[in-house]
Amino acid sequence: MHDLKNYFLLFIILVSISCTREKSSDKIPVENFFKAAFKTSFHVSPDGNYISYLKPDNNRIHIYVETWDGKNTTQLTCDSNRSIAYHLWINNHEILYLKNGTAEADPGLFAVRSDGSNKRELLSFAKTRIRLITSQPVKDNNVLVALNQRDSTVFDAYRLNIQTGKLSLLVKNPGNITQWYSDTEGKLRMAIASDGVNETLLYRNSEKEAFKPVLTNNFKASISPVGFSKDNRCIYALSNKNRDKMALVELDCVTGKEHRIIYSNPEVDVSEAVFSANKDKMIYAGYETWKKERYYLDDSVKAMYSRLEALLPNTQIKVSSSDASESKFIIQTYTDKDPGSFYLYTEKGNKLVKLSDVNPSIDANNMAAMKPISYKTRDGLTIDGYLTLPVGKKGTNLPLVVMPHGGPDSRNSWGYNSEVQFLANRGYAVFQVNFRGSKGYGKEFWIAGFKEWGGKMQNDITDGVRWLISEKIADSTRIGIYGSSFGGYSALHGLCFQPDLYKCGASYSGLTNLFTYLKDIPPYYRPYLQMFYETVGNPEADADYFRAVSPVFHTDKIRSPVLIAQGSRDPRVNMNETNQFVKELKKREVPVTYILKEGEGHFFKKPENKLEFYRELEKFLEKNLRME
């Protein structure tokens, strides 16, 4: 995608700059990198008179509300058992919120007034997940929710009155609906059905009518609704139907035909599109090359961002919330070296007021630059990624930590990453690669990763590491690999099948067995099972392949030290299987550090467990990569 020569020249410049530095950054305490944001998840009330946010107190996260001028603050929640996971303004004076749940259930849906009064539980069902269909303020006290109370594998659509608590079934899921959509008036108007391979977009003119199919396409061709037109006859959507790259289009809800392509990018997918209910139009499309960029569809919005960029130079800027009139905003900033800050912005008068730093413990001057790189794989595919070099070190012969991303159908992005900066501060070069199968680079690049979890996707990572060695950047005797979830699988795969390349590997909630991965998927993912068979593989038809690439069957190939971290209640990785995997390694006298945390899920939520893991990771890498 990018010109390789240009990147190589950029890289040489980076190396020369690194070589001129005389002193490396001081060692920063591990807890500084992984502190929870003091205030986060800011939202503006519809009338613009208040802001809400989440803030820790007594080791739990709670909701607070301030007047716009900041003179009055009210704490709305004080649960000592569970933190708040999500909240939103449902009208000018009331907030809906969800608490942290488990993989199987949410503890309930709650509401409270902005002055802290009338706190109430609206929904509470055992072994039930709650999904909000409504995502914006409402006028009639009704919100739309999806619940899998009746059947754990599917979500039915309901209307809930937040004043009376009355819950009314709108549509019983016939078994194939995977997503519900409401229009700007809070009416249930659209759905997506799936048979596991093909997806059908469904639409109805009113809630009195039945849903009718608009169009059907294979899951490889995605259509993601963004917003309805004023007459609700058309939708704006991100779609790669009949094209390689995702584009922003206008789609007729009755005929299923595209009226027009609003914006497309020849190099990458359109990954974001923002609809303004106030302006009743799309205002910009977002895409991501090596940084996130915007294509503006409204001149006044473009002008506002220009003013913000003048007030906040050399930062990435994101509008995270606004009032209903879109005159008051919450602005979030970040860079690769700075986790960023939150600001209040009033468009009238172009006034900006700082609210909070995401992590005031981080000094951007001591952080390392995250630079884009590009290389060719053994089969000629161009792969993009990022390389972060430790501050003050020469850009050659460095110990390297390879960090494959999770998903795997996600991607690494430019910006502040606490793990990357932590490792760079400890003296490691950090390599992040967007191997084939990563999202954002078009349909063909994504599909190239199908049934290649243990094949070409891993080859892409290996080829990138060998490229860094050939460029004299990485020391071939000091290379480790670390990842979480699919990245953890990649780390274990690398230890199994590239034993001479990696001197150690760390897996955080990493998969060990593709058979078990598909067997243990949560019940509400079952409608996608056929899709998993096509993207990952079929455990029956592809049994030989699964066995060949699942680390649990290849402990005899691992020679380097291993660190494994897992929660006992991880729904995606079987604890008993991980225990057996560790026992086999120990039996073969492979050095193993095993961190198992009771009650934790796929990722550790308790701060003390997170810190323990990163301290162990630091010791593990330092011991095995022989830091000088």
User: Residue 402 and residue 505: Cα distance in Å, rounded?
Assistant: 9
Note the pLDDT of residue 4.
Answer: 42
- The arithmetic mean of pLDDT across residues 348-375, rounded, is 96
User: Residue 227 and residue 183: Cα distance in Å, rounded?
Assistant: 7
User: Residue 331 and residue 310: Cα distance in Å, rounded?
Assistant: 14
Burial state string for 261-285 with b = 16 or more CB within 10 A and e = fewer than 16: ebbbbeebbbbbbbbbeeeebbbbb
Give the DSSP H/E element, type plus range, for residue 419. Answer: helix 418-425
We report the CATH number of the domain holding residue 557 as 3.40.50.1820
Cβ of 114: how many Cβ atoms within 10 Å?
21
Tokens of 32: 């500084």
CA–chain centroid gap for 288, Å, is 14
Query: CA 157 → CA 134, 154, 181, 231, distances in Å?
Result: 11, 10, 10, 23
> Is 341 a member of any domain?
no
Is the pLDDT score of 20 beyond 70? no
Count helices and strands (H / E) in the chain.
12, 35
> Is 508 a member of any domain?
yes
User: Residue 264 and residue 318: Cα distance in Å, rounded?
Assistant: 21
Taking only the tens place, the pLDDT of each residue in 249-279 is 999 999 999 999 999 999 999 999 999 988 9
- Report yes or no on whether pTM surpasses 0.85: yes
Note the pLDDT of residue 145.
Answer: 96
**Angle between the 418-425 and 607-624 helix axes, to the nearest 10 degrees?**
40
> Is 570 a member of any domain?
yes
Note the pLDDT of residue 611.
Answer: 95
Note the pLDDT of residue 17.
Answer: 42
Taking only the tens place, the pLDDT of each residue in 411-470 is 999 999 999 999 999 999 999 999 999 999 999 999 999 999 999 999 999 999 999 999
Taking only the tens place, the pLDDT of each residue in 556-594 is 999 999 999 999 988 888 888 999 999 999 999 999 999
DSSP string, 569-606: T-SSS-HHHHHHHHHHHHHTT--EEEEEETT--SS--S
Partners of residue 200 on adjacent β-strands? 193, 216
Note the pLDDT of residue 72.
Answer: 94
Task: Tell which residue, 43, 156, 57, has the closest CA to residue 96.
Answer: 43
> Is 393 a member of any domain?
yes
Residue 133: exposure state from Cβ atoms within 10 A (0-12, 13-18, ≥19):
buried
CA–chain centroid gap for 214, Å, is 30
> Is 273 a member of any domain?
no
> Is 439 a member of any domain?
yes
> Is 593 a member of any domain?
yes
> Is 512 a member of any domain?
yes
Is the pLDDT score of 10 beyond 50? no
Percentage of residues in the chain with pLDDT exceeding 90? Answer: 81
* Amino acid letter, 158: Y
Q: Report how many domains make up the chain.
A: 1
Residue 211 DSSP symbol: P
Domain residue limits at 435: 4-32+363-624
Cβ of 210: how many Cβ atoms within 10 Å?
7
DSSP string, 232-265: SSEEEEEE-TTSSS-EEEEEETTT--EEEEEE--
Q: How confident is the model at residue 179 (pLDDT cuts 50, 70, 90)?
A: very high
User: Residue 246 and residue 224: Cα distance in Å, rounded?
Assistant: 10
Please report the beta strands in 389-486, taking only residues with DSSP state E, as ranges in sequence order.
Answer: 398-402, 429-434, 474-484
Cα angle, residue 453 at apex, residues 449 and 458 outer, rounded to 5°: 90
Percentage of residues in the chain with pLDDT exceeding 70? Answer: 95
- The arithmetic mean of pLDDT across residues 331-349, rounded, is 96
User: Residue 144 and residue 61: Cα distance in Å, rounded?
Assistant: 25
What is the helix, strand, coil percentage profile of the chain, to 5?
A: 20, 35, 45
Contacts of 152-161 with CB under 8 Å at 24 or more apart are: 152/127, 152/523, 152/524, 153/523, 153/524, 153/526, 153/527, 154/524, 154/527, 155/129, 155/131, 155/180, 155/524, 157/133, 157/188, 157/191, 159/188, 160/109, 160/122, 160/123
User: Residue 171 and residue 489: Cα distance in Å, rounded?
Assistant: 39
- The arithmetic mean of pLDDT across residues 2-24, rounded, is 44
The answer to whether the CB of 135 falls within 8 A of the CB of 87 is no
